[in-house]
Amino acid sequence: MIKFLDLYKINKRFEPEFQKKFQQFLDSGHYVLGKEVKAFETNFAAYCGTKYCIGTSNGLDALTLIFKAYLCLGNLKPGDHVLIPANTFFASVLSVVNSGLVPVFIEPEEETFNISIQEIEKHINPKVKAIMAVHLYGQLANIGAINTIAEKHNLLVIEDAAQAHGAETETRIKAGNLSHAAAFSFYPSKNLGALGDGGAITTNNAALAEVLKKMHNYGTERKYEFDLIGYNHRLDEIQAVFLNMKLAHLDSDNLKRQEIANRYLSEISSKKVELPFYDGSKNHVFHLFVVRVKNRDKFVSYLKNHDIETLIHYPIPPHKQKALINFSHLNLPITEQIHKTVVSLPISPVMSNQEIAQVVKIINSY
């Protein structure tokens, strides 16, 4: 069986180092907001090229904290509208809704699956105060154009970089450093994955960072003196131990993903399978390799019968979820069509050449 993603194999590579580091962690006697979290925040800010990084409990909390911090600073007000891609993971939407803001769903570009610039422009009005750029599947959204629109209309830009650790622009600026503030997830399956939940916020804004440092820790940086209404959304110290180690391997893991993607792109020749757009640069770190097919159920069961596991990212768009019944009337045909036709093929830094060749061979005889 070729697994969609073999998390055991991914982490097994680091077992001796994990064990050594775990022993040091245990011996330290310091298990929350210790030196590993501090070190990770410094290391990840340096990696992304930002002035600040605040570790968080997960990616959803990272995104939500950004909105809540902007509300706290007065840059956003309850009820403000946020433009958000209609085809994203549900957590992107939850962060907006849970902050008392209103999501406005924007259709994507078919080619990249990322938010359409033309559609953003059509939806600008005085209620809109922010744009969320999701770097879906690991490919940077058209952030240059998004930032230009945002500057013109004085809007905030927030990156959901949960799937794009290490993706960079032509001028080598990384995801996380392309907007006012960015959220990352370190869920185990991510390109930089913890051994449990984890997340981070990156920003160059000192005032925002100051609020976030307090807000993710009950509203304080000093014990028992609370400056604002906060939460317990801290990055766990043990996860920071693992993340500090794995960060050193992120670039080589991303390179491996790009190599696999290049092989799929050049070797898959079935006319029934629409391959994703890739310009060959580092702007895509292939968190997922997503193809489109007409008769998806048939394709997925064909691969399953040949021992190849696939997943669907995602089967139901946010506006058609039961939880968002008030949005179900929306007409978003591109998004809905994408959700009906996408299939994610196995891709990960631990896939063998043999496995890659097998996926290609089976698809080409579909």
Ligand X SMILES: Cc1ncc(COP(=O)(O)O)c(C=O)c1O
Residues of this chain that interact with ligand X (CB under 6 A) are 58-60, 88-89, 91-92, 134, 160, 162-163, 185, 187, 197, 199
Which lies closer to ligand X via its Cβ, residue 40 or residue 89?
A: 89
Smallest CA-to-CA distance from 76 within 60, 92, 95 is with: 95
In this structure, what are the phi and psi dihedrals at residue 159, rounded to the nearest 5 degrees?
-90, 130
SS3 160: strand
Q: How far is the C-alpha of 102 from the C-alpha of 79, rounded, in Å? A: 6
Which lies closer to ligand X via its Cβ, residue 55 or residue 59?
A: 59
Which lies closer to ligand X via its Cβ, residue 268 or residue 338?
A: 338
Which lies closer to ligand X via its Cβ, residue 175 or residue 360?
A: 175
Tokens for 208, please give them: 């925002």
User: At closest approach, how far in Å is the CB of 92 from ligand X?
Assistant: 5
User: At closest approach, how far in Å is the CB of 365 from ligand X?
Assistant: 32
Smallest CA-to-CA distance from 177 within 166, 190, 186, 188 is with: 166
Q: How far is the C-alpha of 278 from the C-alpha of 82, rounded, in Å? A: 28
ω before 366 within 30° of 0 (cis)? no
User: At closest approach, how far in Å is the CB of 98 from ligand X?
Assistant: 12
Which lies closer to ligand X via its Cβ, residue 136 or residue 332?
A: 136
At CA 267, angle to CA 264 and CA 270, rounded to 5?
95
Smallest CA-to-CA distance from 258 within 274, 246, 244, 276 is with: 276
Single-letter code of the amino acid located at 105: F
User: At closest approach, how far in Å is the CB of 29 from ligand X?
Assistant: 28
User: At closest approach, how far in Å is the CB of 271 from ligand X?
Assistant: 30
Which lies closer to ligand X via its Cβ, residue 90 or residue 366?
A: 90
Smallest CA-to-CA distance from 356 within 345, 365, 366 is with: 345
User: At closest approach, how far in Å is the CB of 144 from ligand X?
Assistant: 20
Show the DSSP H helices in 123-236 as ranges: 143-153, 206-215
DSSP state, residue 174: B
CB 196 within 8 A of CB 236: yes
User: At closest approach, how far in Å is the CB of 154 from ligand X?
Assistant: 25
Which lies closer to ligand X via its Cβ, residue 91 or residue 273?
A: 91
